[in-house]
Amino acid sequence: MTSDHTNANCAKIKQNANENKVAKALAEDLGIDNPLMVSDQGPAPVQGSVGAVVSVNISPKKGMRKTPAESGTIVLLADHGVSEDAHAGDWHRQVSFLAEESINVAREHGLDVGFGDFAENITTSGINVKDMPLGTLLQVGTAKVEVSQIGKVCHTRCAIYYLAGDCIFPREGIFAWVVEPGLVRVGDEIRVLELGAGEVHHVLSDKPL
């Protein structure tokens, strides 16, 4: 990685940290009439923590909910993302994850939602994804990915927000870029290979380069 890329990466890491703070502040400002959705995903992740993939989801266009892949399998392409998914590209948010535990909380708030409705590519279970540090290396199926962003700022309100007064993905969804390609199937293991130290080893960008 060149020095220019390194400098850009450092600047984007700071921007990303600020974005995460803004997302949390935005959530806290939603008002007492709409209690925040917060899931319990168990203990903080450590090296060796293991969970399962319960759904793999894609969408042909941005700005829409994803649907579970009919084959139950998706292909992760190196430094690109999910094959045939609209969010793939040369940026750090190539693959998105959300825990089934988060979706269950949304259901408890009266939402009729399922896998992919929050536009996540991979729905997990049994592992605490929302508390994974930036830079965490994960084995997902036969692919390896690095956690590159925790949550996001929703600049426009989605349908879920208007229905429930809150949306859980901005706080509990995570993004990653594909370090090594591979297949991810429903039922595959997701394992923490190495906890990150807050550094993302990819140039960060608000949209595909």
CATH of the domain at 153: 2.40.33.20
Is 208 a domain residue? Answer: no
The reported pLDDT for the residue numbered 198 is 95
Contacts 24+ apart (CB under 8 A), 103-108: 103/168, 104/39, 105/37, 105/38, 105/39, 105/168, 106/37, 106/160, 106/164, 106/168
Range of the domain at 166: 3-194
Contact present, 48 and 176 (Cβ < 8 Å): no
The reported pLDDT for the residue numbered 206 is 83
52: left (phi over 0), alpha (psi -120 to 50) or beta: beta
Q: pLDDT for 171-208, tens place per residue?
A: 889 999 999 999 999 999 999 999 999 999 999 998 88
**63 vs 9, residue with greater confidence:** 63
The reported pLDDT for the residue numbered 167 is 57
Contact present, 47 and 133 (Cβ < 8 Å): no
Q: pLDDT for 91-149, tens place per residue?
A: 999 999 999 999 998 888 777 889 998 889 999 999 999 999 999 999 999 999 999 99
Is 111 a domain residue? Answer: yes
Q: pLDDT for 15-73, tens place per residue?
A: 444 444 444 454 454 333 345 778 899 999 999 999 999 999 999 988 788 999 999 99
Is 205 a domain residue? Answer: no
Is 38 a domain residue? Answer: yes
Is 145 a domain residue? Answer: yes
The reported pLDDT for the residue numbered 168 is 64
Is 207 a domain residue? Answer: no
Reduced to 3 states, what is the DSSP secondary structure of residue 7?
Answer: helix
If one counts the domains in the chain, the total is 1
Is 200 a domain residue? Answer: no
